[in-house]
Amino acid sequence: MKIEKEMTCIVCPNGCRLEIIYEDTLTVKNALCPKGVEYARNELMNPVRYLTSTVRVSGGVLPLVSVRSNKPVPKDKLIEIVQFLKNIELKAPVHFHQLVCKDVLGTGADIVATRKVIKK
């Protein structure tokens, strides 16, 4: 089976327009750096994205703390994870890079806070 397609690399702001040919081996054209090749491979086999969202905080100066996954998660799990994170409520203070949820929905990725929220 031969796959030919174009895609925009999302690794950096350059946004290289990649040309991909896959037939036994993968050929990636127009990538300005090796990360583009890795991105194209992932997009074909198992598309992944970093997840960012927010989690509720009680007793803090802010009602929410921003969070991220510490590694990319499968693209088709993003909405499910964000909805799952709505069930979590942290108590202030929340520290910078505090662990919020380990191995979220079995993806192997941890959710960590990306800012601190001090007590009210």
Residues that bind other proteins (CB under 8 A): 7-13, 15, 17, 49-50, 52-54, 56, 61-64, 66-68, 75, 78-79, 82-83, 96, 114-116
Q: Closer to other proteins at the Cβ: 38 or 54?
A: 54
Q: How far is the CB of 24 from other proteins (least distance, A)?
A: 27
- Apex 67 CA angle, 76 and 102, nearest 5: 70
Q: How far is the CB of 31 from other proteins (least distance, A)?
A: 13
Q: Closer to other proteins at the Cβ: 23 or 120?
A: 120
Q: How far is the CB of 27 from other proteins (least distance, A)?
A: 20
Closest CA to 90 of 100, 104, 81: 100
Q: Closer to other proteins at the Cβ: 8 or 27?
A: 8
DSSP 22-72: EESEEEEES-SSHHHHHHHHHHHH--EE--EEEEEEESBSSSEEEEEESS-
Q: Closer to other proteins at the Cβ: 21 or 96?
A: 96
Cα separation of 31 and 36, whole Å? 5
Q: CB–CB of 65/117 below 8 Å?
A: yes
Q: How far is the CB of 64 from other proteins (least distance, A)?
A: 5
